[in-house]
């Protein structure tokens, strides 16, 4: 017996053998839907299996390792990596009370959020004159040689003028690195806030679980602006 989705075009018992071509379009849709359904089930299974106590313990260890390394190197990229690890485990709470796993997930995300916020220079103003970064630095005018912004320092004949130009380039590079660091840390805070905002709102509304989550946030977050964003019903979005 032929069980194929397509008509058996070589079977004399098929009444449409010579009158109508097989409906390949419909068959392709059925196959595509089946493949997508199976893919979704596989992804769901992986997500479920990833969010276990063992995974939580591993995530906590990995985050702490990043934080410890940052305290020694001051490399802000370590904090951003820690945030990604902390936010990799989503809430699975479906009951009235906050589960141990979800509480640990939340605390880990809050820990990285506060670490990133603590690494920022809150007095830094990228628009302040002393912090302006230039695409091309203008060399000093030594009075005897034509110069242009961005020219090679080696092309400057006067050694004193050349040294001033090299120092100016180095200072501009330092300002650029500072600017990039503060921008990345600012974005790191934004993404952490958004992750936590969604985490809490994935908990059932009007339950002890969500109430407990907000209590933990109140006890952990010391920055009033961040606390306001986390507790607002409006999406926190991105800051400047």
Residue range 165-183, pLDDT digits in tens: 999 999 999 999 999 999 9
- Summarised one tens digit per residue, pLDDT across range 128-150 is 999 999 999 988 876 667 778 88
Mean pLDDT of the chain: 83
Q: How confident is the model at residue 38 (pLDDT cuts 50, 70, 90)?
A: low
The position carrying tokens 């959020």 is 113
* Sequence-ordered list of residues with C-beta below 8 angstroms from that of 11, at least 6 positions apart, any chain: 2, 17
Does residue 7 sit within a domain? no
51, two tokens = 């969010």
Report how far residue 176's alpha carbon sits from residue 161's, in angstroms, rounded to the nearest whole number.
23
Total structural domains in the chain?
A: 1
Does residue 88 sit within a domain? yes
Beta carbons of 143 and 160 less than 8 angstroms apart = no
Report how far residue 100's alpha carbon sits from residue 106's, in angstroms, rounded to the nearest whole number.
10
Q: Which domain holds residue 60?
A: 24-231
Does residue 166 sit within a domain? yes
Q: Which of 174, 181, 170 is nearest to 70 (CA)?
A: 181
Beta carbons of 221 and 110 less than 8 angstroms apart = yes
Beta carbons of 98 and 204 less than 8 angstroms apart = no
Does residue 18 sit within a domain? no
Does residue 115 sit within a domain? yes
Look at residue 234 and give its three-state secondary structure: coil
Signed CA dihedral, 193, 198, 203, 205: sign only: positive
Does residue 129 sit within a domain? yes
Report how far residue 12's alpha carbon sits from residue 16's, in angstroms, rounded to the nearest whole number.
9
pLDDT, greater one: 207 or 36: 207
Q: What integer is the mean pLDDT of 29-50?
A: 52
Does residue 44 sit within a domain? yes
User: Is the pLDDT assigned to residue 41 strictly greater than 70?
Assistant: no
Kindly tell me the number of DSSP H helices and DSSP E strands found in the chain.
7, 0
Q: How confident is the model at residue 40 (pLDDT cuts 50, 70, 90)?
A: very low
227, two tokens = 């606390």
User: Is the pLDDT assigned to residue 61 strictly greater than 70?
Assistant: yes
Report how far residue 235's alpha carbon sits from residue 125's, in angstroms, rounded to the nearest whole number.
25
User: Is the pLDDT assigned to residue 39 strictly greater than 70?
Assistant: no
Q: How confident is the model at residue 31 (pLDDT cuts 50, 70, 90)?
A: low
Does residue 2 sit within a domain? no
- Summarised one tens digit per residue, pLDDT across range 81-110 is 999 999 987 766 667 899 999 999 999 999
Q: How far is CA 70 from the centre of its chain?
A: 18
User: What does the pLDDT read at residue 158?
Assistant: 87
- HSE, CB side, 13 Å, CA atoms: give it for residue 78: 16
């Amino acid at each position: 017996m032929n069980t194929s989705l397509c008509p058996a075009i070589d079977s004399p018992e098929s009444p449409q053998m010579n009158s109508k071509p097989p409906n390949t379009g419909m068959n392709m849709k059925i196959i595509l839907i089946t493949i997508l359904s199976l893919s979704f089930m596989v992804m769901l299974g992986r997500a479920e299996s990833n969010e276990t106590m063992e995974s939580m313990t591993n995530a906590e260890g990995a985050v702490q390792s990043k934080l410890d390394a940052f305290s020694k190197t001051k490399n802000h990229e370590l904090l951003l990596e820690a945030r990604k690890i902390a936010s990799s485990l989503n809430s699975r709470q479906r009951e009235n009370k906050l589960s141990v796993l979800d509480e640990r997930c939340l605390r880990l995300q809050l820990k990285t959020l506060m670490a990133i916020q603590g690494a920022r220079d809150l007095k830094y103003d990228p628009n302040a004159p002393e912090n302006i970064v230039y695409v091309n630095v203008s060399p000093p005018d030594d009075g005897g040689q034509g110069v242009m912004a961005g020219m090679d320092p080696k092309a400057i004949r006067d050694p004193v003028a050349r040294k001033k130009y090299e120092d100016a380039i180095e200072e501009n590079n330092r300002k650029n690195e500072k600017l990039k660091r503060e921008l990345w840390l600012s974005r790191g805070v934004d993404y952490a806030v958004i992750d936590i905002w969604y985490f809490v709102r994935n908990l059932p509304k009007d339950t002890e679980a969500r109430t407990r989550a907000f209590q933990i946030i109140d006890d952990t977050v010391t920055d009033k602006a961040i606390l306001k964003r986390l507790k607002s019903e409006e999406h926190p979005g991105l800051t400047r």
